[in-house]
Structure 1
Amino acid sequence: MEESCNICNTIWLGLTNTKSRDKINLGSVDEILSSSCSIHKSLFQRYKHSSEYHQRSNVEFSPRSDVEFSPRSESESARIHAISGCDWHPLLVKRSSVSDHPGIGRILDPDWVDINLARQWKDKCLTEHGTKCHNPLKIWKTRPAWLIDVNDKCIVPGQNIEEAFVALSYRFGDHPSYKIDADSWSKLQRDNALEMPWVSTYLSPMIQHAMHVTSIMGERYLWADALCIPHHDRDVSTQQLQLMGAIYGNAIVTIIAMDTDSEEGLPGLRGISRSREMYQEVIPFGKEQVVVRNTYGIQVIPDMLYASRGWTYQEYIHSSRKLFFREKELHWQCSCSIWHEETIFGEEVDMFADNPMSDIPNGFPDLLEMSKMVSTYNEKQFRYNQDALPAMSGLLSVASRTFTGGFLYGLPEMLFDYALGWRYNILEMGELRRRKHSQKQNASQLHPSRLPSWSWIGWQGSVNVWADETVRIMPDWNRIQETFPITEWYTADTPNATVSERRLIRSTWFTNRERYKDPNTPLPPGWTRHEESTKREKVFLSLEGYRGPIFKHEAMPEAEWCYPFPAPDISESTPPAMPEQTAYLFCETRRAYLRAWRTRKPLTSTEKEIVELWDAENGKVGVLHYQNPRQAGHFPYYGEVPLGKRVELVAISEYKACEATWYEENEEYGLPIRSGEYIAVLWVEWKDGVAYRLACGEVEKEAWDKLASERISLVLG
């Protein structure tokens, strides 16, 4: 580079300075390209070309302050950014011939992965990170029923093996699935069985390649669902599916194939698979070289095919050490570090962690964490809709140790009366559609596979669940509610179950909450009472029994809670506690009929349609939250039809709520606070004596009490 060139010197400092985090203004692109220095000109000519190549042809460069160079820091690599242009993350290539050279980038083989890094990364993590990366979710010790022995090329009983095992996470793709029968299963247990020609039907290229990677990492055993779950044995397969979260949590490393499916395998394994055909941008910079990163961080992007599949979600979350094949390169992520093939060994340029389950493993029922996971998961795709619960059962099992009583078809039993009121997330794009069982002949028969209308499991799409109940205090709250049960809920596997055959669902949160509202009741172990919250920054939301003291637990000193509760001390020896998954609900409640019209009301900065509920005296008494925009089309606009649409509503709970006022001009919430008491209702339709949920809503309690409601025995399916 030109030592007298200020731009070159600035770029050099940005590429090599590990302490500064300040952005450096290089001026306009026109100024940079008009310079007499050919060294940095070549860099930015390639940058401009890359911007256009990435379909950003309408690149407009402001005449000033439009190019920034962010120096490399502990949290990110350097970044070149221009208005309307793409981001570049350049790395200075390490020159081994120069002593103490500051470069951290590597020029990679375009055809073959440096697979030996997998073993080096694993050993470095085990040696230097120790317990920090061992089982951060505190998952109980689990051995898979079956494992692949990559040395003897066969499947072996996992219960007899104490050695570590590697897990494989990938998407199957749109390829035919094959179920291994009992006879073939027996043959697969013979030495070298996986090398027999007839096994190719079951042994996909992905599993073959993962076996090779497992061996390279110095491990002998691999777990892959397609070959290690005996689907011919329903009891064992059901058990293994429920333990999938624990299986991935117990794996020493999980191999994650983000770019390819089962038949494409893992490209770039020399002598094993095809070339990876990777392109790496390498640019001369005087005597130096700069490479442009193909990836930035390891976060899972929703539109990635891997991330769009339902089965991969819990696999990703529960894996403590991850070996990624992504963007045709190799990457590593654990609780302490992120390493990339494109950087020299041990160098860190990203510190991004995206595991959404952090507080739940510590015994705290964080509804916001659980809500985000459920909403993210419920937008994913399945080959068979009835896999919606089996693909989530591992994650729910892990969370069941915190949510007392576990989950019934995805709803936490300890908060069941509240959880039934989940709704469609109207602020997100897309819609909520009813999941229906696949009628294909070879459809999955995993258990449990029901799709009840009362659970979000029975619907696909973005859902708004469990974020408003007064459990943990959040600084940006604009709405809270406090739910009160009005009936007892029971469940059974058939709609005709007798009273003695039904199981009572115990909503223990509400019982404990009322108990600890009494200031004379001793606090559970670990809790302290405080008179004021430090998290109420702009809006002071309050409910009877909530305003005033807040509570903290010694295990989470920064978190504030509305009420104390018995927090389980979760460790690796704490087992899951999931109830039998039965698909019908029973209760004694009240039913009423109201009229409904469609209207337009402003929600945040956009116009959204809602359905208003009116009584016989032409008074608005409530709102219906439809499941998707198309459902709103079933309702007439106000005044179009004299009596509106008649809807049947059943009460599921009572609640108090308060909500801040949204000010559009300032784009913020503030005073005054609106509060009220409501009855949570479901809009239902009946078929053969069973009611099915169509939507949820609320009716003002005072108005509900005046309606001509009737007592009914409700059966929800």
Structure 2
Amino acid sequence: MATNNQLCEHCLKVPLDMKTLRDLPFGSRWSLGKAGDVLKRTCPLCRVISLALYESARVERRDVNIDSDAILGWGSRYPGSRRMFSINTLGVGICVVRMPGLDCPLPLEDCLLPNLGRAVDKRRIKGWVDHCAESHGARCNPEPHIKLGSPVVESYAGLELLRFIDVQQKCIVETRTVCRYVAISYVWGVGPNFRLKTSNLADLMKPDALSKKENWDRIPRTIRNAIALVRGIGETYLWCDALCLIQNDAADLSQGVNAMDSVYENAAFTIVAAYGHDANSGLPGVEEGTRFNGRSPEIIPGVYLDVHMTLNVAMRHSVYRSRAWTFQEESLSRRKVYFVESKIYFECPSTTRLEFYPPELDRGTDPVDIRETQTVPRWNINLENFREVLVTYTQRFLSYDQDALRAMAGILRRWSDKMKCQFLEGLPTAVFDEFLLFRAGNHDGFPRRRGFPSYSWAGWRGPISRVKYYPYLEGNRWLEENTWIVWYRTDPGGTTKLVWDLDPAANPGFPFDDPRYVGYRTRRPFQSPAVLPFATDRTEPTLIIPSTTRSYTILQFWTLSLFFNISIFDRSNGLSLISDGPGKICGFFYLDNPDNTAFLDSSTGPFEVIVLSSMPEFPYEWIETLRPILQARGEKDDFESQRYCYNIMILEWLGDGIAERRGLGFILPTAIVNGLTPGPAWKEIVLG
């Protein structure tokens, strides 16, 4: 048994009796010295604090900063603060453990359960799911048109039937009517994965086919565990991509992938297998001997503490959260049961449940856990939310480049519904100009993704970032006042048409009379800051693009073409300077591929730049980047005084008469007439 005498001189200052902790003001703090010193101590409280420091460092994939001050605080730092200790971290805390037979005056919601045991509590998982379905209403339940027994074709886009694993009969079944089922989202990994194929479909549809040794032993452990879990909960059907889509049938696979949003959204719940790194990692606790939870340490007599980690902290750097396909699956699922580390969490749009919380809380509403719920995208018409989705998704890893849009198909369809417009190569057509403005190139090696156009985020590996700033100008006004290009699209078959037609009849689903929806409603011609010796009103394409040129959509449009000298300032990030005829810096941009500057190095210039749109002010953070460069060159800073600037794209023309983007940036308005020979021109651009 622990005694107060075992505490070090630092921890003796911390009040640990339950009654004092119950009334202790939030925000109380105690200095424990340096983190490195805490790690060396052997007192019971220091050992628990050390575990919290190690856990925080582990999930964030870093080392403990031993030179940092170790400050123990009371009251968690995330919204809806609860009675728990925190140590130099957000989301990892130290909670009181409610031990059987011991009096604990703290509220239930501030306590953890003792040793959870080795087996998964299937009844508790079922209780979480059932309570959500019964009590949370439309926010957590499928749309009214999803009815059990209705035809699949009415609720699952492009599908006439669904396949499931029948966990009771241990076989694959097909149904043309909507039924209740559980889905699983997991990481395939690089190992062999037993798959449904045209050659084994008939055999696997026979009862007990999956339980045959030659089949069962080939099914990854995670899927075997999921079958056992679903069966133990009392459900009948499990949807798993590897065994419910015919993997060598292109049509079946494509139809299934395109309906992925409906499959996950309409599941009774989704098992999120976030433990380990591949499909053989399993679901800890489903099989005997696969989970162990050590005894919570006693700090002083009758007081037990243990480390608590929120769901999002536990998931933050998991392999699961690093994969592109799982982003869509997790985001679209309404209810999720997470297997992460050795713990189980439940999340729905209304709340989060944790198996290490007392079960008495399961049918209540914990405001802290509601605020922890962050994995579900906000499906509304706010474009900022969609930008966040793209930035997050492009940080994920894809094994196969051709899946860049397929792994986002369901999410893009949801945003298409909300934004009331179609998408072209991953970009919303109603606000096309806006989503062309992204920075690419944050990828080691060769970031250009073949098979997709360079003007789309899908054409680049690695995370994109925003380059558009107009905090005082809402979307509709920016489109009206700062864009002029009439975009045309030519598909691989050679058909050319408008990307966005201003005629409401051409876009019947878009509410032109509702300003909440951002989209083109009028067109303003290009307004030059200086008189140009040519007209700038031509918009219709004249060039004929052969139908076999590309496998993706080509853009055709007219805009202002300019020529400048370009010099790479920082090869580590691709920062490059744009100089006008007199040699003065008039703008700058970031190369899309800083590791491959061949097209710049092979020529002394000048280089072609096209003007895309304008911004009502020059971004301040870009001014901060330019200021020391200008000072070092002895040039006057003209950027901060400018009322607006132009968004520009650097082009490289390929041998077949089609250009690709090689960077995105800004120029000053004065650069329009100060470029290099051959001078400005209103030019038709063919962009792939």
Same fold flag (TM > 0.5): yes
Report the equivalent of 1:128.
Answer: 135
Among 42, 45, 51, the alignment partner of 2:44 is 42
1:687 aligned to 2:624? Answer: no
Shift of 1:400: 0.6
Q: Please say if residues 94 and 344 of structure 1, whose CA atoms lie closer than 8 Å, have aligned partners that are also in contact.
A: no
Q: Deviations over 1:640-699 (max 9, x none)?
A: x9x954323345x3324313646979xxxxx97742252633422303333222222344
Q: For 1:503, what is the secondary structure of its paired residue?
A: strand
Among 93, 118, 122, the alignment partner of 2:98 is 93
Q: For 2:434, what is the secondary structure of its paired residue?
A: helix
Shift of 1:587: 1.3
Shift of 1:713: 4.8
1:618 aligned to 2:619? Answer: no
Q: Please say if residues 164 and 221 of structure 1, whose CA atoms lie closer than 8 Å, have aligned partners that are also in contact.
A: yes
Report the equivalent of 1:491.
Answer: 490
Q: For 1:654, what is the secondary structure of its paired residue?
A: strand
Output aligned runs, 1:119-518, within 5 Å: 119-135=126-142, 141-142=155-156, 145-160=162-177, 162-177=178-193, 180-200=196-216, 203-260=219-276, 261-271=278-288, 274-279=289-294, 281-293=296-308, 295-299=309-313, 301-347=315-361, 348=366, 350=369, 351-355=371-375, 357-358=377-378, 361-362=379-380, 364=381, 366-424=382-440, 433-436=446-449, 450-465=451-466, 467-468=468-469, 473=474, 483-493=482-492, 497=494, 501-506=495-500
Q: Deviations over 1:198-239 (max 9, x none)?
A: 434763222221112222333211111111112333223212
Task: Work out the CA distance in 2 between the residues paired with 1:583 and 1:697.
Answer: 25
Task: Work out the CA distance in 1 between the residues paired with 2:45 and 2:585.
Answer: 65
Output aligned runs, 1:43-58, within 5 Å: 43-44=45-46, 46-48=48-50, 51=53, 56=64, 58=66
Task: Work out the CA distance in 1 between the residues paired with 2:482 and 2:375.
Answer: 30
Task: Work out the CA distance in 2 between the residues paired with 1:391 and 1:410.
Answer: 11
Q: Please say if residues 2 and 286 of structure 1, whose CA atoms lie closer than 8 Å, have aligned partners that are also in contact.
A: yes
* Distance change in 2, residues 1:92/1:233 (3 Å): same
Q: Please say if residues 165 and 219 of structure 1, whose CA atoms lie closer than 8 Å, have aligned partners that are also in contact.
A: yes
Report the equivalent of 1:23.
Answer: 27
Report the equivalent of 1:654.
Answer: 613
Shift of 1:333: 1.0
Output aligned runs, 1:531-680, within 5 Å: 583-589=552-558, 591-599=561-569, 610-631=575-596, 644-651=604-611, 653-659=612-618, 661=620, 674-678=642-646, 680=648
Shift of 1:99: 9.5
Task: Work out the CA distance in 1 between the residues paired with 2:283 and 2:304.
Answer: 29
Shift of 1:259: 1.3
Among 12, 16, 27, the alignment partner of 2:18 is 12
Q: Deviations over 1:500-526 (max 9, x none)?
A: x223211659999xxxxxxxxx99358
Shift of 1:613: 2.2
Report the equivalent of 2:75.
Answer: 70
* Distance change in 2, residues 1:242/1:465 (3 Å): farther
Query: What amino acid sits opposite 1:646 in the alignment?
Result: P
* Distance change in 2, residues 1:130/1:523 (3 Å): closer
Task: Work out the CA distance in 2 between the residues paired with 1:135 and 1:340.
Answer: 23
Count of aligned residue pairs for this structure pair: 600
Q: Please say if residues 96 and 303 of structure 2, whose CA atoms lie closer than 8 Å, have aligned partners that are also in contact.
A: no
Task: Work out the CA distance in 1 between the residues paired with 2:257 and 2:12.
Answer: 60
Q: Please say if residues 225 and 287 of structure 2, whose CA atoms lie closer than 8 Å, have aligned partners that are also in contact.
A: no
* Distance change in 2, residues 1:505/1:387 (3 Å): same
Task: Work out the CA distance in 2 between the residues paired with 1:484 and 1:49.
Answer: 55
* Distance change in 2, residues 1:180/1:689 (3 Å): farther
Q: Please say if residues 645 and 669 of structure 2, whose CA atoms lie closer than 8 Å, have aligned partners that are also in contact.
A: yes
Shift of 1:323: 0.3
- Which range is displaced more, 148-157 or 322-331? 148-157
Q: Please say if residues 257 and 409 of structure 2, whose CA atoms lie closer than 8 Å, have aligned partners that are also in contact.
A: yes
Query: What amino acid sits opposite 1:108 in the alignment?
Result: N
What residue ranges of structure 2 are gaps of 5+ in the alignment?
A: 5-10, 58-62, 147-153, 518-525, 527-549, 626-638
Q: For 1:307, what is the secondary structure of its paired residue?
A: helix
Q: Please say if residues 678 and 698 of structure 1, whose CA atoms lie closer than 8 Å, have aligned partners that are also in contact.
A: yes
Shift of 1:257: 0.8
Task: Work out the CA distance in 1 between the residues paired with 2:295 and 2:422.
Answer: 48
- Which range is displaced more, 609-618 or 465-474? 465-474
Q: Please say if residues 609 and 651 of structure 2, whose CA atoms lie closer than 8 Å, have aligned partners that are also in contact.
A: yes
* Distance change in 2, residues 1:301/1:121 (3 Å): closer
* Distance change in 2, residues 1:56/1:694 (3 Å): closer
In the superposition, the TM-score normalised over structure 2's length comes to: 0.75
Task: Work out the CA distance in 2 between the residues paired with 1:137 and 1:661.
Answer: 48
Q: Deviations over 1:320-359 (max 9, x none)?
A: 111000111111111222111111115345331213622x
Task: Work out the CA distance in 2 between the residues paired with 1:617 and 1:396.
Answer: 46
Q: For 1:688, what is the secondary structure of its paired residue?
A: coil
Task: Work out the CA distance in 1 between the residues paired with 2:439 and 2:646.
Answer: 16
* Distance change in 2, residues 1:525/1:376 (3 Å): closer
Q: For 1:211, what is the secondary structure of its paired residue?
A: helix
Q: Please say if residues 683 and 696 of structure 1, whose CA atoms lie closer than 8 Å, have aligned partners that are also in contact.
A: no
Q: Deviations over 1:157-177 (max 9, x none)?
A: 2432x3321110110111135
Report the equivalent of 1:536.
Answer: none
Shift of 1:527: 6.9
* Distance change in 2, residues 1:73/1:345 (3 Å): farther
Task: Work out the CA distance in 2 between the residues paired with 1:659 and 1:91.
Answer: 52
What's the RMSD between the two structures over aligned residues?
4.5
Task: Work out the CA distance in 1 between the residues paired with 2:505 and 2:581.
Answer: 36
Q: Please say if residues 51 and 307 of structure 2, whose CA atoms lie closer than 8 Å, have aligned partners that are also in contact.
A: no
Q: For 1:414, what is the secondary structure of its paired residue?
A: helix
Q: Please say if residues 171 and 204 of structure 2, whose CA atoms lie closer than 8 Å, have aligned partners that are also in contact.
A: yes
Task: Work out the CA distance in 1 between the residues paired with 2:145 and 2:574.
Answer: 44
Query: What amino acid sits opposite 1:684 in the alignment?
Result: E
Shift of 1:393: 0.9
Task: Work out the CA distance in 2 between the residues paired with 1:290 and 1:393.
Answer: 45
Task: Work out the CA distance in 2 between the residues paired with 1:508 and 1:299.
Answer: 46
Task: Work out the CA distance in 2 between the residues paired with 1:689 and 1:151.
Answer: 60
Task: Work out the CA distance in 2 between the residues paired with 1:138 and 1:376.
Answer: 31
- Which range is displaced more, 140-149 or 95-104? 95-104
The percent of aligned pairs where both chains have the same amino acid is 21
Q: Deviations over 1:354-386 (max 9, x none)?
A: 13622xx34x2x221111111111121122121
Q: Deviations over 1:445-472 (max 9, x none)?
A: xxxxx32222111111221247536798
Q: Please say if residues 148 and 155 of structure 1, whose CA atoms lie closer than 8 Å, have aligned partners that are also in contact.
A: yes
* Distance change in 2, residues 1:16/1:247 (3 Å): farther
Among 107, 119, 125, the alignment partner of 1:118 is 125
Q: Deviations over 1:455-493 (max 9, x none)?
A: 11111122124753679859xxxx999531323321302
Task: Work out the CA distance in 2 between the residues paired with 1:73 and 1:608.
Answer: 34
Query: What amino acid sits opposite 1:506 in the alignment?
Result: W
Shift of 1:313: 0.3
- Which range is displaced more, 259-268 or 694-703? 694-703
Task: Work out the CA distance in 2 between the residues paired with 1:116 and 1:25.
Answer: 40
